[in-house]
Amino acid sequence: MRLELRGITKRFGALVANDHIDLVVEPGEIHCLLGENGAGKSTLMNVLYGLYDADEGEILLDGEVQNFEGPGDAMGAGIGMVHQHFMLVPVFSVAENVMLGHETTSGPGILDLAAARETVRSTADRFGFHVDPDALVEDLPVGVQQRVEIIKALSRDAQVLVFDEPTAVLTPQETDELMAIMRQLKDEGKAIVFITHKLREVREVADRITVVRHGKVVGEAEPTASDNELASLMVGRAVQLTVDKEPPRHGENELAVEHLVVARPDGQVVVDDVSFTVHGGEILVVAGVQGNGQTELTEALIGLYPDFEGSIRLDGEELKGRSVRKVLDAGVGFVPEDRSTSGLVGEFTIAENLILDRTDGAPFVRAGSLQLGLRDEFAREKVDEFDVRTTGIDLPVGRLSGGNQQKVVLAREMSRELRLLVAAQPTRGVDVGSIEFIHKRIVETRDQGIPVVVVSTELDEAVALADRIMVMYRGRVVGIVPADTPRDVLGLMMAGVAPESEGDAA
């Protein structure tokens, strides 16, 4: 089925998310939609899928204009979507999720689970993987959940398949398997739209590439284009893909974590006997697929899991048993993984967010009263220093772009006297310009002789930023290796395969 989008325009208030976008996807082709976070790719696909109404433009399938009232219509017309955030009900079984919305019934409205199981099995068999139809989705690993999404789309006989940032949650090996599935679908004659911002993947599978920037199509590219060409097209200027840094000069500070075990309240061990040391002047990147204990590791470092076993020592001082307040006072800067839920108070102004961590005394609070003048002066200084693009310090921080929000978090955490910096996913959902800035600041912190721990799920970022890389898998350390370790070795490590000879294990 041939998909054509003509002049799609979607506005949210004053923001034009999609500005007259044209796109043609032929059957039997993988068409990559490449663009930065916030470029309008997902909005476009939500229009295609009937979730949003386009303000202008039309959708054509095999030359016929479609009018989708909702996702039901789009699906009926043969469009299937594998969503970035899986659209699966966690407490339902695989079969229930697959049948939901077009249930097979026996008798009046009575579910025919046997038929649904059979659908799951036969579709899975076609692609040579196995999914238990009776497993609850919440118990499945993310890679398998994604396959359930694919089965869901295929069981409705989709002819146009949209993959929205499908590799964000996958290991490199799982990504390869997904690519194979996409190629097989293509060979079956499906039209495939592959949305991503990862250049490597684009060049691997794309037949055609359309680049989107600020809601507009800015060009087409061949899969043979180089990374730099694609990146500059995507960002609109020349981009530096590597991080400039000197070899590390080890300082005196040191973070030593020994036999750290963190368990969730339900007893599941999420950080399992983790030991590592980070010297001053060194960046240790904790790599791994999302959800392998990195979040809990960083949270344990700043005292959010008071019950952990093992020890965390900063310059020889034991941090175990200290409250978060005392850990921060000891000189730990913490950039949390999700700035909107745990990094910032969205409704508070930039100035208020910048002093959120120092409201318990001088200089910003005296005799129980906020020192507004001092606060604003401090805020202006930080906004300048960290290049936060804003109309003023009184703007609610939630209205800033992702990159600028992250700079506010960074400004706050870096303005204390630091002895350790922990940054979890510092560049997630951040534009390329801000990524460059954030990387630069992190490297500067390291060069001041401060130990830095960065959690990243993006292999590119890990390799660019790290002095050493620690890979975690299911709560355990698979290995600690130098940053110049080959990517395929790192990929295998992310799937839990320990490297043959452990490089630098210290």
Partner 1 sequence: MTAPTVDGATTGAPDAPRTVSTISWKTPIALAVVLALYALLMLLAPREGSARFALSTPTDFFQIPVYVIPGMGTAWVCAAVAAALLVVSVLATRDGRRTPLWVTSVYAAALLFGFLAWAAAGSPRDLSVVGLLGGAVALSVPLVYGSLSGVIGERSGTINIAIESQLLAGAFTAAVVGSLTNSPWAGLVAAMIAAALVGLVLAVFTITYRVNQIIVGVVLNVLVIGLTSFFYSLVLVPNTQTLNSTTRFERLPIPFLERIPVIGPVLFDQTIVVYLMPVVVFLVWYGLFRTRWGLRLRAVGEHPRAADTVGIEVLRTRYRALLIAGAVGGMGGAFYTVVSINQFNREMTAGAGFIALAAMIFGKWNPIRAALAGLLFGFATNLQNVLSVVGSPVPSQFMLMLPYIVTLFAVAGLVGRSRPPAALARPYTKE
Q: Mapping DSSP to helix (H, G, I), strand (E, B) and coil, where does residue 465 land?
A: helix
Which residues, at least 6 apart from 356, have a Cβ–Cβ distance to it below 8 Å? 345, 348, 412
Q: Rounded to whole angstroms, how far apart are CA atoms 419 and 314?
A: 8
Q: If binding is defined by CB under 8 A, does position 96 make contact with partner 1? A: yes
Q: Give, as ranges, the residues between 270 and 329 that touch partner 1 (CB under 8 A).
A: 270, 272-273, 307-309
The answer to whether 445 and 245 have CB atoms below 8 angstroms apart is no
Q: Would you give the distance in Å from CA 155 to the centre of its chain?
A: 28
Q: If binding is defined by CB under 8 A, does position 114 make contact with partner 1? A: no
Contact segment (CB under 8 A) with partner 1 among 127-135, 264-272, 317-325, 334-342 equals 264-272
Q: Rounded to whole angstroms, how far apart are CA atoms 46 and 165?
A: 13
Residue 270 CB-density burial (10 A; 0-12 exposed, 13-18 middle, 19+ buried) = buried
Nearer to partner 1, 99 or 454 (CB): 99
Nearer to partner 1, 105 or 228 (CB): 105
Q: If binding is defined by CB under 8 A, does position 224 make contact with partner 1? A: no
Q: Rounded to whole angstroms, how far apart are CA atoms 167 and 188?
A: 22
Total Cβ atoms within 10 A of residue 294: 25
At 22, which helix (H) or strand (E)?
strand 15-25
Q: Rounded to whole angstroms, how far apart are CA atoms 492 and 498?
A: 8
Q: What is the DSSP string of 385-438?
A: HTT---S-TTSBGGGS-HHHHHHHHHHHHHTS--SEEEEESTTTT--HHHHHHH
Q: If binding is defined by CB under 8 A, does position 49 make contact with partner 1? A: yes
Q: Give, as ranges, the residues between 132 and 161 that touch partner 1 (CB under 8 A).
A: 152
> For residue 363, is the peptide bond before it cis, meaning its omega torsion is within 30 degrees of 0?
yes
Tell me the site size for partner 1, rule CB under 8 A.
52
Q: If binding is defined by CB under 8 A, does position 263 make contact with partner 1? A: yes
Q: Give, as ranges, the residues between 418 and 447 that touch partner 1 (CB under 8 A).
A: none
Q: How far is the CB of 267 from partner 1 (least distance, A)?
A: 4
Q: How far is the CB of 412 from partner 1 (least distance, A)?
A: 30
Q: If binding is defined by CB under 8 A, does position 51 make contact with partner 1? A: yes
Q: Rounded to whole angstroms, how far apart are CA atoms 160 and 1?
A: 7
Contact segment (CB under 8 A) with partner 1 among 94-102, 278-286, 414-422, 437-445 equals 94-102
Q: If binding is defined by CB under 8 A, does position 34 make contact with partner 1? A: no
The bridge status of strand 420-424 relative to strand 332-335 is parallel
Q: How far is the CB of 15 from partner 1 (least distance, A)?
A: 12
Q: If binding is defined by CB under 8 A, does position 473 make contact with partner 1? A: yes
Nearer to partner 1, 74 or 283 (CB): 74
Q: If binding is defined by CB under 8 A, does position 62 make contact with partner 1? A: no
Q: If binding is defined by CB under 8 A, does position 14 make contact with partner 1? A: no
Residues 56, 58, 62, 87: which binds partner 1 (CB under 8 A)?
87
- Residues written for the chain: 506
Contact segment (CB under 8 A) with partner 1 among 65-73, 117-125, 206-214, 224-232 equals 65-73
Residues 27, 57, 71, 346: which binds partner 1 (CB under 8 A)?
71
Q: Rounded to whole angstroms, how far apart are CA atoms 400 and 346?
A: 9
Residues 455, 476, 481, 491: which binds partner 1 (CB under 8 A)?
476
Contact segment (CB under 8 A) with partner 1 among 24-32, 241-249, 399-407, 474-482 equals 474-482
Residues 393, 478, 480, 481: which binds partner 1 (CB under 8 A)?
478
Q: If binding is defined by CB under 8 A, does position 268 make contact with partner 1? A: yes
The answer to whether 283 and 470 have CB atoms below 8 angstroms apart is no
Residues 21, 88, 233, 464: which binds partner 1 (CB under 8 A)?
88
Q: If binding is defined by CB under 8 A, does position 117 make contact with partner 1? A: no
Contact segment (CB under 8 A) with partner 1 among 96-104, 186-194, 206-214, 360-368 equals 96-104
Nearer to partner 1, 330 or 498 (CB): 498
Q: Rounded to whole angstroms, how far apart are CA atoms 107 and 256?
A: 64
The answer to whether 289 and 170 have CB atoms below 8 angstroms apart is yes
Structure tokens at 325: 């307040």
The answer to whether 18 and 212 have CB atoms below 8 angstroms apart is no
Contact segment (CB under 8 A) with partner 1 among 68-76, 159-167, 197-205, 224-232 equals 68-76
Residues 144, 269, 324, 356: which binds partner 1 (CB under 8 A)?
269
Nearer to partner 1, 49 or 437 (CB): 49
* Virtual torsion, Cα 51, 57, 63, 64, nearest 10 deg: 60
Nearer to partner 1, 269 or 324 (CB): 269
Nearer to partner 1, 210 or 292 (CB): 292
Which residues, at least 6 apart from 104, have a Cβ–Cβ distance to it below 8 Å? 111, 112, 115, 116, 119
Q: If binding is defined by CB under 8 A, does position 101 make contact with partner 1? A: yes
Q: Rounded to whole angstroms, how far apart are CA atoms 408 and 345?
A: 11
Phi/psi at 87 (5° precision) = -95, 65
Residues 99, 192, 432, 481: which binds partner 1 (CB under 8 A)?
99
Q: If binding is defined by CB under 8 A, does position 497 make contact with partner 1? A: yes
Q: If binding is defined by CB under 8 A, does position 105 make contact with partner 1? A: yes
Tell me which residues touch partner 1 (CB under 8 A): 49, 51-52, 70-73, 75-76, 81, 83, 86-92, 96-97, 99-103, 105, 109-111, 152, 261-263, 265-270, 272-273, 307-309, 473-476, 478, 496-498
